[in-house]
Structure 1
Amino acid sequence: MTDSAFATDEFIRERLAAWQRELGSVRRLAPKTLEAYDRDLGQFMAFLAGHMGGPVTLSSLQQLRGADIRAFMAQRRNESLGSRSLARVLSALKSFFGFLERQGTLTTEALNVVRTPKIPRSLPKALTVVEAKRTIETTNELEDRPWIAARDMAVISLCYGAGLRISEALSLTRADLDTDTLRVTGKGGKVRMVPLIAPVRQAIETYLGLVPYKLWPEDGLFRGVRGGVLSPRLIQLRLEQLRGALGLPPSATPHALRHSFATHLLGKGGDLRAIQELLGHASLSSTQIYTAVDTERLLESYAKAHPRG
C-alpha cells in the first residue's frame, strides 16, 4: 500500500494486506482490479490521515461518518475522476469495510448513507451483420503469409462467432479446443464452455494446418511470428487495417465484434440467459444492455423504412 504506508498504523496496514490477499486468492479478482482497489484505498487512507490530523487507526475508522466519505469523493471528483471510476472507488471502500465486518473488527454505517455515482449508460457499438462478415472475409486479403492470415482470421472469427474477449481468445491453449466446444477462461478465472459453429471451427482448423510451430496441449494456441504468445496489439492493428480497407467507423474493434455477436444473437430471438452464459457475464444486468442496442437498431430501421419515417 504505497499511498497509505505512512497514513495508517501497523494494525490497519495488516488489515489492508489481509484484505488484498482475500481479494486475490479467494475472490480471484483480476490483477488490474486488485491494483485499482489497492490504489483507491491508499488514497482514501492518505485523505483520512490529512482530514483527521494523524495516521489512521481503528479508532479513526470507528468514528468515520458519511460526511467524511462524501468529502473524499468530492475531492476525487474535483481531481477530474469520472463517475465510473468514482463508483469503483466506492466499491473498493465497501469491500474493505465489509471485510473488516466479517472479521469482527469493525462495523460502520457510514457507507450506507453515501450514494453510488450515476454512471452514464453507453451502448456497445455493434457492427451490422454485413460489416461483421466482410471484416472476417477480408482478413485474408491483407496478409501475404498464409499462416498469419489464417491465424488472424481465426482470432477475429472467435470474437464474432463465439463472443470471446480478445484476451480470452489469445489465452486459449491447444487443450482448450474440442471438436464442437471451446473451454474458455474468463474474468476472475471463471471457466465456461462455448459451442463452436462450423465457420469458426473451420477457421481454427485452417490455422492449425498452416501454423509452422508445434502446438503442445498446454501451449498457447495462437503464436506470433517468432513462436511466442500472440500479442493483442497485433490483432488490434489488423482491425485498424480492416477499418481502413472497408471504411468502417473507429468503433470497429475486436471488442465490437463481441458486442456484435451478442446483439445479432438477440436480434434473431436468442435467449438472454443463454447469451449471458455464452458471454461469461456474472450478472444478467450486464447482458441486458444488448436489449437496448437491439431496440435502437430496430427503431433506426423503422425510421428509414416506414413511409412516414
Structure 2
Amino acid sequence: MAHELVPLQDALHYADLTDQSLRVRAVEAAATYDTEALVLVTLAYMTTASRRGARTSPKTLAAYALAVRDFVPWAEAGGVQLLRPGPRDGGRYLANLQRRPSAGKGKRGQLSAATIAQYLAGARALYRALRWAGATEAQPFSEVYAPGDPTPGIVKNPPYLREIDAVLEQCDPRLAALLLLCAHAGLRASEALAARQSDVEGQTLVVRGKGGKVRRVPLGARVRRALGILSPVSAEGHFFDWDYGQATYRAAKAFRAAGFEWRGFHAARKHSGTRLYQATKDFTRVGLFLGHASVDTTRRYVAVLDNDVAPEVEDW
C-alpha cells in the first residue's frame, strides 16, 4: 500500500482550534465530503489526543490518511451521510473492500486481509476524530470486523535467511550498515535510519522506537564494524540521510543484483528475531530485543520449525 504525503503541520493547526471552531470545521468537511479536511481532522486527533501522549509513527499516520482518502469518496458515491450513517453502512464498506480487486503493481486477486484491516482502522479513526471534534456520535464500525487471514504473516512474508550474507556483497558500506542494523540488531527501518553516532555507546545502541520508547540494543561485532567505518552525514551525527523510499530503492536494487526477491525491511527484522529465538528459545527475550510491548507480537516475527520440540519429546 503506497503512502501519500501526510500534512502533519496543517493537522496541528486543527488541533489548536477552539472546540467550537473545530466542530464547525469538522461538520462542514463531513457535509461537503471534503476529503483532505477530514484527513487533517483525523491526523489532528491521532497526533494529539488518541493515545494519551504516545507517539503515532509517520507510517501509521500515512496509512490512516490513505484510508480516509479511500472511504470518504466511497461514502459520497454511495450516498452515505457521514455524520448520520445508516446502521449497515459500515458493513457495506467492508463488503466493498472484500469485493475490490487489488491494484498494486504485479498483484492479482482481491485485497488482502491485512489491507482490508488497515482501511477499516483508518475509517474507525475518522469517526473517533469526528466524535473528538464534537461533530457526531456515530460509530458505524463498532460491530464491523475485518476477516482474519488464514495464512500467518510469518508464512506470507518469512524472514530472510541465507539472503542476507549474499546481498551484503552487493551493498556499499552505508547500505550494508543499514541492512545489518535491521537483520542483526533487529531495528525497524525507521529506527535504523534515525541512528546517530552519539547513540552508539560501547557495544550498545540507544534506540528511540515506537511510541517514543527508548531501549538499548546490543550490537554484535559485525554491526559495530559496519558502523565504525561510516562518517556522519549530518551535523547531528546521523549515519544516513535517506528517507524510507530512498533506502528501499537501494536495498531492492542490491537484492536483485544478488538474485533474490526484495520483501522489505521487516523480513530482515524477522531474520534477527528468528535467529535469536533459535539461540535462546525464549520469546520474552526476543521481544525485549525487538522492542515489542507484547510477546504475542513477537511470535509473529519468529519462524519456528515444525520439529522445534523434537529433541525434547524424543525420549518420552
Bigger CA radius of gyration: 1
Residues matched between the structures, number: 269
Aligned position for 1:125: 158
Q: Give how far 1:189 is off.
A: 4.9
Alignment TM-score, normalising by the size of structure 1: 0.69
Contact residue 30 and residue 38 of structure 2 kept, 8 A: no
SS at match of 2:141: helix
Cα shift readout 1:226-275 (whole Å, capped 9, x = no counterpart): xxxx844323323333x33xxxx526765433211101111122532332
Which residue among 178, 182, 193 is the counterpart of 1:155? Answer: 178
Question: How many percent of aligned residue pairs carry the same amino acid?
Answer: 25
Aligned position for 1:186: 209
Aligned position for 1:70: 91
SS at match of 2:153: coil
Change (3 A) 1:157 1:50: closer
Alignment TM-score, normalising by the size of structure 2: 0.68
| Structure-to-structure mapping, 1:43-82, within 5 angstroms | 43-52=70-79, 56=81, 58=83, 60-61=84-85, 64-65=86-87, 67-80=88-101, 81-82=111-112
Contact residue 262 and residue 290 of structure 1 kept, 8 A: yes
Aligned position for 2:238: 220
Taking the aligned partners of 2:153 and 2:196, their CA distance within structure 1 comes to: 33
Q: Give how far 1:10 is off.
A: 6.3
Is 1:98 the counterpart of 2:159? The answer is: no
Name which of structure 1's ranges 103-112 and 171-180 shifts more when overlaid on structure 2: 103-112
Which residue among 46, 53, 56 is the counterpart of 1:23? Answer: 46
Change (3 A) 1:252 1:109: closer
Aligned position for 1:41: 68
Structure (1 or 2) with the greater helix fraction: 1
Change (3 A) 1:295 1:12: same
**Structure 2: where are the runs of 5+ without partners?**
1-5, 7-25, 102-110
Contact residue 233 and residue 241 of structure 2 kept, 8 A: no
Taking the aligned partners of 1:251 and 1:92, their CA distance within structure 2 comes to: 27
| Structure-to-structure mapping, 1:1-309, within 5 angstroms | 8-9=30-31, 17-26=40-49, 28-52=55-79, 56=81, 58=83, 60-61=84-85, 64-65=86-87, 67-80=88-101, 81-102=111-132, 105-108=135-138, 110-119=140-149, 120-123=151-154, 124-128=157-161, 131=162, 134-135=165-166, 139=169, 148=172, 150-187=173-210, 189-205=212-228, 207-208=229-230, 211=231, 218-222=236-240, 231-241=247-257, 243-244=258-259, 249-250=260-261, 254-291=265-302, 293-296=303-306, 298=308
Q: CA RMSD in A?
A: 3.9
Give the aligned residue type for 2:237.
D
Change (3 A) 1:126 1:187: same
Taking the aligned partners of 2:127 and 2:61, their CA distance within structure 1 comes to: 16
